[in-house]
């Protein structure tokens, strides 16, 4: 397997247009990988919810929890 330094060294040798093409390809691949991760997380969440292993919350409770965690992050 190639490491990041080797990949960067190889990329530096590319022409400008090839570098731009590589960037676009990597962006698209990254987006697709992230979509697959999100889909897997959604599928797992649905399975857990269906099995009764996830509790429901109302939107106010979720927003309050988000605000609380953001405040904690700012304090640290």
How much is the mean pLDDT over the chain? 94
Provide the pLDDT for residue 56.
84
Residue ranges covered by each domain of the chain: 14-75
CA distance 25 to 76: 38
Give the Cβ contact number of residue 13 at 10 Å: 8
Model-wide pTM > 0.75: no
Using pLDDT thresholds of 50, 70 and 90, give the confidence band for residue 54.
confident
The predicted pLDDT at position 72 comes to 86
Taking only the tens place, the pLDDT of each residue in 26-43 is 999 999 999 999 999 999
pLDDT tens string 41-50: 999 999 999 9
Judge residue 17's burial from the number of C-beta atoms within 10 Å of its C-beta, 0-12 exposed, 13-18 middle, 19 or more buried.
exposed
């Amino acid at each position: 397997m190639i490491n990041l330094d080797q990949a960067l060294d190889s990329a530096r040798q590319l022409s400008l247009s090839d570098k731009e093409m590589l960037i676009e390809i990597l962006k698209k691949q990254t987006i697709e990988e992230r979509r697959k991760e999100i889909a897997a997380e959604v599928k797992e969440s649905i399975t857990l919810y269906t099995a009764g292993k996830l509790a429901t919350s109302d939107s106010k409770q979720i927003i309050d929890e988000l605000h609380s965690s953001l405040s904690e992050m700012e304090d640290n």
